[in-house]
Amino acid sequence: GAKPIPDYVARLNPEQRLAVETTDGPVLVLAGAGTGKTRVLTTRIAHLLATGKAHPSQILAVTFTNKAAREMRHRIGDLIGPSVEGMNWLGTFHSIGVKILRRHAELVGLKSSFTILDTDDQIRLMKQVIQAEGIDEKRWPAKQLAALIDGWKNRGLVPKDVPPGDGGSFANGKAVKLYIAYQERLKVLNACDFGDLLLENLRLFREHPDVLKEYHQRFHYMLVDEYQDTNVAQYLWLRLLAQGRRNICCVGDDDQSIYGWRGAEVDNILRFEKDFPGAVVIRLERNYRSTSHILGAASHLIAHNQGRLGKTLFTEANDPDSVKVQVSSSWDSEEEARAIGEKIEDLQRQGHRLNDMAILVRASFQMRSFEDRFITLGLNYRVIGGPRFYERQEIRDALAYFRVVAQPADDLAFERIVNTPRRGIGDTSIKLLYDYGRSRGIPITQAAEELVQTEEVKAKTRTALRDLMASFERWRGKLGTIKHTELAEIILDESGYTEMWQQDRSADAPGRLENLKELIRSMDEFESMEGFLEHIALVMDKDNAENQDAVSIMTLHSAKGLEFETVFLPGWEEGLFPHQRALDESGRAGLEEERRLAYVGITRAKKRASIWFASNRRIHGLWQSNVPSRFLDELPEKHVDVVEQTSNYGGYNVGGVGNYGASRFDRADPFQNTYSTPGWQRAQANRAAGAKPAAKSNTRLIEGELIAKSTGSKSDYAIGERVFHQKFGYGHIEDIEGNKLTVAFEKAGTKKVVDSFVSKN
């Protein structure tokens, strides 16, 4: 009398079923994209719970992102109902690490209320540590130290374990010393940085075997998704925890390892069998996600990598109307966005939902042209895994500079950048500016201009403010006399903003610099700074399409594990994809990681994959021609259709080994391309309309000046009068100049102050 097989198990293929039912002992599922690895994990959890092998709180399940954790919780809930609520150990490495650390904080010298530093705090603290050691912070920047220390932490290395010479020449070999000092400072502050979370867990488990034992007791079963992207610290953490009951199931795909640049090591897959002898290794070969054309294209591409464990994939998708992977070219990225926008609208007209479509980019700056285009078309979109282009920190900062230049009365913009990069203008000074501005009904920039003529602000701050105000004056003088894109570059350079990111050694800094370049590139489409800023105001007004039908835009990295009916893959150009930085920094390994990223991209598609490359990119107003990505040549002809956009495109042979000559894509006349769709016309109409509100902000400025003038002229004080000042105390007025008073203070000496900060005695 065998028990009836539960429905969810019956729906699996034999290998998947084996992976679900081999509950005890180590299991490694090594399988390609879309073979149901994540499905195996969720079903396995449901199975463990349904068969009573474990309570929800006895299962440790690790996902790569919080989004994936939510998704998994949701899917398990669908299978087993509300008891999924009790799964309080389902999350990312970090979220679980924090939870464990809080429970035993005192054992590693922390209080359970410890704070987790963000990157900014981390850098600030490192700066202090560097200075305290008497090291020149300019020569050996904190960001660089942060990259070193993060790297060590990813590899599970506490200071004493760092191999000699590993810090390179940083601070003349003092990097490890700084690492020690930094960790000591963290303890004093009762704080952790991100990398510490797992590192402190490791220390906890090693130094307190009783605690480790407690978790061995607790976690009856452990499950890990996206195992190929674990770093060494995560691996060691898993290994320690799994030593207890040895019921660990990891699923992964070496071909999808795309976080090498963040310390992930594919070798962890190979180590698994060594560290867990007798592990059952299961391979899943049937892909349930994609059509045979999509799978064929992806498999052929990834076969160009040498460092692979190797696997076969097949699909039984019965898809008579399966379409080949499409490869299309465009003149530039704007045209690419227009053409993809049209494709999306076509699909929508045919009844496809926007939710089933995604645009996957290599670098976040690529999102900009799509976002602009979709806003013009009124097409809903959402950006996944990060803010929308114009909402990114560096873009907002840059825009704030431009706004202060073009619209001096923009207080919020001024406040945003007055101390970015750091100029020693602190919160107190900013508050002072605000109070003063408000009390007089003038914009904060003007308040700043007035206050720097007084001693209300500390001498050092005053100099910094004065310099900044002078810069703004200089930039304003150029407004309308030089090209606005050129001015934008000057502003970002002279303000030190670009340099701030150039000095930054964190992993996302290069991407931010690219975004800034893209921002300037995008300005080229507009006549003036004002027209551009107006466009931005309209763009920013759109709210996020949270629960609406919307196209997803995201990077390839954040697309991991997801699937969509239709996937657009723009920007397949040498230098962008494969990305130049990856090639420069890690050569062949870098190239292979890029190729895995391409594989991840194509395999997100269920029915339609459409790859794009632009023949040209406009950089600083100059056209530069692009070479199509070598990955295009690595696609098999059998599964690919090259779409001819116009008669100007030469024939393109897919699969010609090493033969991706750009010339075949060259176009005689770029302007022959006529995408005169209604949408495009709408875009121009929108931009033309942009002039009006810009004029409004000018009016606001003028009003500001008027108020300032009318209040600025009279002062109700008289020479010789005794007054009280918040900061300087009592004094007698010696001179009056508009609203500025020279006061001989009884204690603080003679100072120039403004009348709104003193009161009559």
Nearer to ligand ATP, 561 or 628 (CB): 561
Least spacing, CB of residue 38 vs Mg ion, in Å: 3
Q: At what angle do helices 459-478 and 393-406 cross, to 10 degrees?
A: 70
Name the strand (E) or helix (H) holding 622: strand 622-625
Which does residue 356 bind out of ligand ATP, Mg ion, none, counting CB within 5 to 8 angstroms by kind? none
Binding mask 234-273 for ligand ATP (x = CB under 6 A): -------------------x--x-----------------
Q: How many CB atoms lie within 10 A of CB 327?
A: 22
Query: Which three-class secondary structure state does DSSP give residue 143?
Result: helix
CB of 275 to ligand ATP, least distance (A): 23
Residue 628 within binding range of Mg ion, rule CB under 5 A: no
Could you give phi then psi for residue 367, rounded to 5 degrees? Answer: -65, -30
Binding mask 527-566 for ligand ATP (x = CB under 6 A): ----------------------------------x-x---
Is 33 annotated as ligand-binding? Answer: yes
Residue closer to ligand ATP by CB (options 178, 297) is: 297
**Residue 696 annotated as binding site:** no
Give the residue with the Cβ less far from ligand ATP, 302 or 758: 302
3-class SS of residue 404? helix
Binding mask 15-54 for Mg ion (x = CB under 5 A): ----------------------xx----------------
Among positions 15, 19, 27, 38, the unique one binding ligand ATP when judged by CB under 6 A? 38
x-or-dash string of contact with ligand ATP, 405-424, rule CB under 6 A: --------------------
Give me the amino acid identity at 18: L
Tokens describing residue 348:
């929508």
Nearer to ligand ATP, 35 or 498 (CB): 35
Collect all residues with Cβ–Cβ distance below 8 Å to 86 and sequence separation of at least 6: 55, 56, 57
CB of 309 to Mg ion, least distance (A): 17
CA-nearest of 661, 664, 583, 585 to 629 is 661
Write out the two tokens for 655: 């699969």
324 annotated binding-site participant = no
63 binds Mg ion (CB under 5 A): no
Active site residues: 37-38, 225-226, 256, 604
35 binds, among Mg ion, ligand ATP, none (CB under 5 to 8 A by kind): ligand ATP
- How big is the site for ligand ATP, counted in residues (CB under 6 A)? 19
Q: How far is the CB of 253 from ligand ATP (least distance, A)?
A: 5
Residue 62 in 3-state DSSP? strand
Q: Which two tokens stand for residue 601?
A: 């991209």
* By the rule CB under 6 A, 33 interacts with ligand ATP: yes
- Applying the rule CB under 6 A, the residues between 270 and 309 that interact with ligand ATP are 288-289
Given the complex with ligand ATP, which of 309 and 706 has the nearer CB atom?
309
397 near ligand ATP, judged by CB under 6 A:
no
Cβ–Cβ under 8 Å, residues 283 and 31: yes
Instruction: Give me 148's structure tokens.
Output: 């070193």
Quickly tell me which residue has 């440790």 as its tokens. Answer: 60
Query: In the β-sheet with 325-330, what is the strand arrangement from edge to edge?
Result: 381-383, 551-555, 357-361, 564-569, 605-614, 325-330, 640-643
In the complex with Mg ion, the residue whose CB is nearer, 38 or 610, is 38
Closest C-alpha among 427, 428, 451 to residue 439: 451
Contact of 600 with 107, CB cutoff 8 Å: no
Q: Which two tokens stand for residue 369?
A: 């042209």
Distance CA 45, CA 83 (A): 11
Stretch that binds ligand ATP, among 37-45, 265-273, 401-409, 437-445 (CB under 6 A): 37-45
Of these partners, ligand ATP, Mg ion, none, which one is at the site of residue 111 (CB under 5 to 8 Å by kind)? none
What angle do helix axes 367-377 and 509-523 make, rounded to 10 degrees? 50
Q: Which helix (H) or strand (E) holds 381?
A: strand 381-383
Residue 32, marked binder: yes
How many angstroms separate the CA atoms of 739 and 241, rounded? Answer: 70
Nearest to 686 by CA among 545, 537, 517, 518: 537
Shortest distance in whole angstroms from residue 188 CB to Mg ion? 42
Nearer of residues 37 and 75 to Mg ion, judged by Cβ: 37
**Region 658-697 residues binding Mg ion, contact defined as CB under 5 A:** none
Contacts of 365 (CB under 8 A, 6+ apart): 389, 511, 514, 515, 517, 518
Q: Which two tokens stand for residue 288?
A: 């349930």
| Amino acid at position 494, single letter | E
Footprint on residues 568-607 left by ligand ATP (CB under 6 A): 603
Query: Per the annotation, does 692 bind a ligand?
Result: no
Which residue is it, tokens 């701050």?
461
**545 Cβ contact list (under 8 Å, min separation 6):** 380, 381, 382
Residues in 549-568 that interact with Mg ion by CB under 5 A: 561
Query: Residue 561 or 628: which CB sits closer to Mg ion?
Result: 561
- Please identify which residue in 6, 8, 9, 13 interacts with ligand ATP, judged by CB under 6 A: 13
Nearer to ligand ATP, 28 or 492 (CB): 28
The only residue of 20, 28, 35, 635 in contact with ligand ATP, by rule CB under 6 A: 35
Q: Is 34 in the site for ligand ATP (CB under 6 A)?
A: yes
User: Binding segment for ligand ATP among 9-17, 344-352, 354-362, 572-580 (CB under 6 A)?
Assistant: 9-17
Question: Is residue 380 packed enough to be buried (19+ CB in 10 Å), middle (13-18) or exposed (0-12)?
Answer: middle
Q: Which residues bind Mg ion (CB under 5 A)?
A: 37-38, 561
For the annotated binding site for ATP, the residues are: 31-38
Q: Which residues bind ligand ATP (CB under 6 A)?
A: 11-13, 16, 31, 33-39, 253, 256, 288-289, 561, 563, 603
For the annotated binding site, the residues are: 31-38
